[in-house]
C-alpha cells in the first residue's frame, strides 16, 4: 500500500510537471512524437534469463516554449516540455515481460545547436513480470510491480519539413524501485532511436513571437526547510525486506540567479526505522560479543544520519528540477547494512560467525560518505513572481552515491529576501 501511495504521489506530481505549459505568450499546438527504439539491456545478475534485442515504442506529447515570455523559458532558450508514454519489450516475454512507462520530460538544445537536443525524463513504470523465487528465480532486476524510471537521450534532426521532422538518437534508460524491496538490481538499457516530430498545422502556429525587452540579471537569497517521509528495506531475509519508514528534515541557505538557477548549501537529518529496529531487537550483528554491540547504548542516535549538502535546482515557475550531493558526517548503522548486503548472497537473519560479510573497501567508503538526491518539486506559488514566502511538495529518490537508498515524498517552505537587479 505504501508503494502504491508513493507511486500515485509521484505520478501525479510528474504529470502536472508535463502539463504545466507555463502559459506561453503565443500558445502553440501539441507536438506528437512517435519513437521506436532498439538496443541492448545489460545483464544485472549472473544466470540472468536469456533475452533477445530490446525493443521499445514511445509516443510523446510536447509543447515548445520558444514563444514563452517567462524568464526561465528565455534563459533556457525555449525548451520543450511534455509527457511520454511507452511500452518496452526486454526480449524475453516469459521471464522479463513488458514495462509500461509514463514519463514527463524536458528537452534542451545541446551545445547551442538547434538540430541537436538533449532529453531528460523521470517517471514511473509498471512491469508485467518480476522476480519470483519459484516461477522466475533468475530475474533479479525487478521485484516490484512499480518502479522509478529515468531516461537520458540525445536527438539529432536529420530531415525537416513544415509538418514533420525526422530524428535519430541514442541514449540510456534505467528502471529501479528505489530500494523499496530487494532484490533491486534494476534494468539498464542502451538504445538507439528513430523518431518523428509531427508538428501542428500552420494555422495553430501562424502567430509570430512578440518582441520582448532584453533580460536583466537578478539575484536574491533564500532560506528553505523541508520535511519528508520515505520508505526502504534493509535486507533480503524475513521482515528485513518489508518496507519501513525513513523520516527526514533539512534546511538550505542559498541564492537564486536570474530567477532560474538556484544554488545552496544545507544540513540534513534522517532517521531510519529499519536501523533502529535492528538494534533494539538485538539482531545478530549487535548482539553481545559481535562487531556492533555498542550500538545498543544509543539506538536512536545510531539509527540517525546527519550530513551537509550542496543543492542545485532549475526553476520552471511552478516546478523545480532538484539535485543534491551531500557528505555524511554521521551514519553509523550503514556499517551493518553494508556487512549484511555486500557479503555472501542470501544472508540469513541469524548470521553465523563463519559467514562472509561485506568488507569495508573503497566502494563502501565512497557510498558511506557520499549521499545524492534527485527529485521534482511543485511550488504552490509560481516562482516567476518571486514570492517572499512559498510552499512546495516534492518526490525524490535518495541514494548512497549511485546506489538507491530510499524513496521519499516531502513538503517544504521557502522564504526569499534581498532581491537585487544587476
Locus of grid cell 548486503: 341
Q: What count of other Cβ atoms lies within 10 Å of the Cβ of residue 135?
A: 11
Torsion of CA 61, 65, 69, 74, to 10 degrees: 140
CA distance 156 to 164: 14
DSSP label of 48: P
Q: What does the pLDDT read at residue 112?
A: 81
Q: What does the pLDDT read at residue 200?
A: 87
Q: What does the pLDDT read at residue 18?
A: 47
Q: Which residues of 189-225 are buried (b: 16+ CB within 10 A; e: fewer)?
A: bebebebebebeeeeebeeeeeeeeeeeebebebebe
pLDDT per residue as tens digits for the range 312-348: 999 999 999 999 999 999 999 999 999 999 999 889 9
Residue 232 has pLDDT above 90, yes or no: yes
Asked whether the CA dihedral 42, 47, 53, 55 is positive or negative, the reply is negative
Return the CATH architecture of domain 218-421. Beta Barrel (2.40)
Q: What count of other Cβ atoms lies within 10 Å of the Cβ of residue 409?
A: 18
Q: CATH number for the 2-198 domain, one of 1.20.1510.10, 2.60.40.10, 2.40.160.20, 3.90.245.10?
A: 2.40.160.20
CA distance 370 to 375: 17
Q: What string of H, E and C letters represents the secondary structure of 182-240?
A: CCCCCEEEEEEEEEEEECCCCCCCCCCCCCCCCCCCEEEEEEEEEEEEEEECCCCCHHH
Q: 183 falls in which pLDDT band (50, 70, 90)?
A: confident
Q: What does the pLDDT read at residue 353?
A: 93
Residue 188 has pLDDT above 50, yes or no: yes
Contact assessment for residue 115 and residue 156, using Cβ atoms and an 8 Å cutoff: yes
Average pLDDT value for residue range 239-253: 96
CA distance 53 to 51: 7
pLDDT per residue as tens digits for the range 247-302: 999 999 999 999 999 999 999 999 999 999 999 999 999 999 999 999 999 999 99
C-alpha cell at 109: 538544445
Average pLDDT value for residue range 146-173: 94
Contact assessment for residue 144 and residue 124, using Cβ atoms and an 8 Å cutoff: no
- The percent of residues in the chain predicted with pLDDT above 90, rounded, is 74
Strand partners, 296: none
Most confident of 27-31, 175-179, 288-292, 403-407: 288-292
- The percent of residues in the chain predicted with pLDDT above 70, rounded, is 91
Closest CA to 83 of 124, 44, 45, 53: 124
Contact assessment for residue 82 and residue 18, using Cβ atoms and an 8 Å cutoff: yes
C-alpha cell at 366: 565512497
Average pLDDT value for residue range 391-400: 94
Q: Which residues are CB-neighbours of 420 under 8 A, at least 6 positions away?
A: 218, 219, 220
C-alpha cell at 222: 533564500
DSSP label of 285: G
Determine which helix (DSSP H) or strand (DSSP E) holds 280, and give its type and residue range.
Answer: helix 273-280
User: Taking the model in full, what pTM does it have?
Assistant: 0.86
Residue 400 has pLDDT above 90, yes or no: yes
Average pLDDT value for residue range 351-374: 95
C-alpha cell at 187: 534494468
Q: What does the pLDDT read at residue 308?
A: 98
Strand partners, 57: 36, 87
Q: What does the pLDDT read at residue 66?
A: 85
Distance of CA 201 to the CA centre of its chain: 35
Q: List the Cα angle 152/255/123 in 5-degree steps.
A: 25
Strand partners, 264: 254, 311
Average pLDDT of every residue of the chain:
90
Average pLDDT value for residue range 123-140: 91
Annotated domain spans of the chain = 2-198, 218-421
Q: 82 falls in which pLDDT band (50, 70, 90)?
A: very high
Residue 378 has pLDDT above 90, yes or no: yes
Question: Would you say the CATH fold of 218-421 matches that of 2-198?
Answer: yes
SS3 for 276?
A: helix
Average pLDDT value for residue range 223-241: 94
Q: 208 falls in which pLDDT band (50, 70, 90)?
A: low
Q: Considering only 69-78, 183-192, 206-215, 395-404, which range has the smallest mean pLDDT?
A: 206-215
pLDDT per residue as tens digits for the range 14-40: 544 444 544 444 456 899 999 999 999
Q: What does the pLDDT read at residue 403?
A: 86
Amino acid at each position: 500500500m505504501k508503494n502504491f501511495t508513493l507511486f500515485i504521489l509521484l505520478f501525479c506530481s510528474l504529470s502536472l510537471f508535463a502539463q504545466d505549459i507555463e502559459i506561453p505568450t503565443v500558445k502553440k499546438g501539441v507536438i506528437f512524437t512517435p519513437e521506436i527504439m532498439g538496443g541492448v539491456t545489460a545483464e544485472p545478475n549472473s544466470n540472468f534469463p536469456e533475452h533477445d534485442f530490446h525493443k521499445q515504442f514511445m509516443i510523446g506529447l510536447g509543447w515548445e516554449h520558444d514563444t514563452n515570455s517567462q524568464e526561465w523559458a528565455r534563459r533556457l532558450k525555449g525548451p520543450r516540455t511534455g509527457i511520454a508514454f511507452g511500452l518496452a519489450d526486454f526480449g524475453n516475454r516469459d521471464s522479463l515481460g513488458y514495462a509500461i512507462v509514463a514519463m514527463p520530460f524536458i528537452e534542451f538544445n545541446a551545445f547551442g545547436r538547434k538540430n541537436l537536443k538533449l532529453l531528460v525524463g523521470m517517471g514511473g513504470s509498471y512491469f508485467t513480470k518480476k522476480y519470483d523465487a519459484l516461477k522466475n528465480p533468475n530475474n533479479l532486476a525487478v521485484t516490484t510491480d512499480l518502479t522509478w524510471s529515468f531516461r537520458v537521450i540525445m536527438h539529432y534532426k536529420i530531415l525537416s519539413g513544415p509538418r514533420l521532422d525526422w530524428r535519430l538518437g541514442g541514449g540510456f534508460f534505467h528502471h529501479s524501485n528505489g530500494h523499496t524491496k530487494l532484490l533491486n538490481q534494476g534494468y539498464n538499457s542502451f538504445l538507439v532511436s528513430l523518431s518523428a516530430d509531427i508538428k501542428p498545422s500552420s494555422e495553430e502556429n501562424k502567430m509570430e513571437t512578440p518582441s520582448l525587452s532584453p533580460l536583466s540579471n537578478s539575484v536574491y537569497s533564500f532560506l528553505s526547510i523541508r520535511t519528508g517521509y520515505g520508505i526502504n528495506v534493509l535486507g533480503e531475509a524475513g521482515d528485513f525486506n518489508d518496507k519501513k519508514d525513513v523520516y527526514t528534515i533539512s534546511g538550505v541557505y542559498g541564492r537564486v540567479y536570474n530567477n532560474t538557477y538556484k544554488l545552496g548549501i544545507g544540513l540534513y537529518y534522517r532517521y531510519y526505522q529499519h536501523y533502529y529496529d535492528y538494534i533494539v531487537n538485538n539482531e545478530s550483528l549487535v548482539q553481545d560479543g559481535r562487531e556492533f554491540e555498542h550500538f545498543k547504548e544509543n539506538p536512536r542516535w545510531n539509527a540517525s544520519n546527519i550530513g551537509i549538502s550542496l543543492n542545485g535546482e532549475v526553476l520552471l515557475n511552478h516546478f523545480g528540477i532538484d539535485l543534491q550531493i551531500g557528505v555524511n558526517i554521521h551514519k553509523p548503522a550503514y556499517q551493518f547494512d553494508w556487512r549484511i548486503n555486500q557479503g555472501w548472497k542470501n544472508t540469513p537473519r541469524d548470521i553465523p560467525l563463519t559467514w562472509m560479510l561485506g568488507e569495508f573497501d573503497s566502494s563502501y567508503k565512497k557510498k558511506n560518505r557520499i549521499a545524492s538526491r534527485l527529485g521534482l518539486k511543485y511550488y504552490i506559488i509560481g516562482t516567476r513572481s518571486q514570492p517572499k514566502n512559498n510552499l512546495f511538495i516534492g518526490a525524490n529518490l535518495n541514494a548512497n552515491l549511485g546506489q538507491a537508498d530510499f524513496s521519499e515524498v516531502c513538503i517544504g517552505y521557502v522564504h526569499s529576501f534581498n532581491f537585487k537587479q544587476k
